Amino acid sequence: MFGDAANWNEDAYKESILKDREIQTLTVFRTAWPPSSNPNPNTIVLASSDGSLTSYSISEIPLGFSDSRAPQVKPNAFLQGHDGPAYDVKFYGNAEEDALLLSCGDDGRIRGWRWEEFMQSQVPVALQGNHIEPIVDMVNPQHKGPWGALSPIPENNAIAVDTQQLFAYVCILTLSPAPGGFHFLSCRGFLCILLGCGMYLFKETCKIKMCFKGHLDYLYCIVARNSANQIITGSEDGSARLWDCRSGKCIQVIDSVKDEKFKGFSSPVSCVALDASESWLACGSGRSLSVWNLPASECVSRMCTRASIQDVIFSDNQILAVGAEPVMSRFDINGAVLSQIPSAPQSAFSVSVHPSGVTAVGGYGGLVDIISQFGSHYCTFHCQCV
């Protein structure tokens, strides 16, 4: 009456349950727009909690917005980038044929692949994952303790790319959450040698060039200030710091707790962003967003939000922020709320802007929103686990 249990496969049943849970809890930690000669966005790359790096074609996604009935879409290219969550993905290079796809994750690795090779692979998507060898593959060093015991490999939370060194070497700034420090990695292997009419990439040994120390707790975010050869980091200690890349020294501490106007605030700095002029800095810290004039070392505005801010980015002279609520907020420099657009992820971890003004929001549930430059929803989709 209840069926024949003789052919019951306990392992297959458990695997199906785990697969369903993985799909439901899949989280997109980073969205990125690849370099393209096409002025209109068509491809978006995602770094997710299952360690995957996936590429999706926007033109193949059904139009419309739905947070509960968004279609599940298959990627058109897939890499198993990390053992554990992939937290960040960045592109180095402005041309499709020369660009590098760089990522970091929970396994402590910093890896890179040729973007052109990734997109032009003839291997079926179902068989992809480890089909392309990375041309960058580094792992955070372990430290020896008493009796020769090794520390755990620290994870990497974010990457920043120094675009000013186009013809020397790629500088990848990777955060290691070992308290107080992060590594400055010099990948000399990607020498851009101009030979005739073509640019060629050569692989050499990647190594740690410098270690910056000064934060008092874990590091969450990083951005490169290329015009001044500086980097800016945000930490659990509630401060953002400016560092000189040549000396490795901290040259400025942005700490709202020490500002008499903002006594009592001590939330971690979870995200930082620079505007195009690299004169204005936005810092997301708990349920507040502050904007700083870097040349004057002055906080010009502070906005309070209903939920914690988890990512922030400048779009022209405006600031886009997402966090632990299904909303993308748009602010001006002075802190005024210009708009609030509903987003599909109940908690969003990434917001990225294409040069055309199209915006991508990714987060919990493997949901991604594509929002037009006019503020309307273009499409929403669920990432499909491969």
pLDDT tens, residue by residue, 320-342: 999 999 999 999 999 899 999 99
229, amino acid identity: N
Do the domain assignments include residue 251? yes
Of 56, 38, 36, the C-alpha closest to 46 is 56
User: Please, which contacts does 354-360 make with residues 24 or more away whose CB atoms are closer than 8 Å?
Assistant: 354/33, 354/41, 355/33, 355/39, 356/39, 356/40, 356/41, 357/315, 358/41, 359/315, 359/320, 359/328, 360/31, 360/33, 360/44
Domain extent for 347: 25-140+153-383
Decide if 266 is inside a domain.
yes
Look at 10-14, 51-55, 107-111, 320-324 and tell me which has the smallest mean pLDDT. 10-14
* Model confidence pLDDT, tens digit, residues 298-326: 999 998 899 999 999 999 889 999 999 99
pTM of the model: 0.85
Sign, CA torsion 301/305/311/317 = negative
Residue 171 confidence (pLDDT) above 60: no
Task: Please identify which residue in the block is written with the tokens 């903002």.
Answer: 262
Residue 209 domain-assigned? yes
Q: Look up the CATH number of the domain holding residue 342.
A: 2.130.10.10
Instruction: Say if CB 297 and CB 319 are below 8 A apart.
Output: no
Q: Indicate whether 11 belongs to any domain.
A: no
User: Model confidence over 232-285: pLDDT tens digits?
Assistant: 988 888 889 998 888 888 899 987 555 545 455 568 899 999 999 999 999 999
Q: Is residue 15 part of a domain?
A: no
Is residue 313 in a domain?
yes
In a domain, 8, yes or no: no
Q: Give the pLDDT of residue 83.
A: 93
Residue 5 lies in a domain: no
Looking at the 3D structure of the chain, how many domains does it have? 1
